[in-house]
Homo-oligomer: A and B are copies of this chain.
């Protein structure tokens, strides 16, 4: 599963797009294509992935259309104007590979046309981070406690406070 963020504005959206990337990663995507590219953001996310494990990466895309056109699977564009997620979910679950597209402030009108599905969570304005999280949770389940390969550290779930331990000490695969 991959995510494509279209219309990122490096100066204005750094935190929002970082949240999108980290959500994509934590909820099971393998990569996020970022249009236009933002090497600084990609590097920040890479350093998170280095500490916490897994193979997630942010891949800069100078143009978004080739990413959509060349993707070998259905393309799901998340938009508040689309059809209900529930209506499309069974077909999405059958797809081997899936590209989930989230727009920024200005979504290119063409995106509605080239996407396989335009999908909405409810009919109210909310957040592309929320839409992505709920969609991936429906497709992959809510993330669990599984170990992430290559992690340097991991969290031990706690009723109170924060507990982070080196991943190796407790048998996390290096």
Contacts and interface: CB of A to CB of B under 8 A. Distances in A.
Interface string A113-126: 10001101111111
Contact of A143 (B26, B27, B122, B138): B122
B143 A121 contact: yes
Contact of A52 (B25, B120, B125): B125
A19 to B, nearest CB: 4
Of the four ranges (under 10, 10 to 19, 20 to 34, 35 or more), the interface on chain A belongs to: 35 or more
Interface of A: 12-13, 15-16, 19-20, 22-23, 25-27, 48, 52, 79-86, 109, 112-113, 117-118, 120-127, 129-134, 137-138, 142-145, 148, 154-155, 157-164
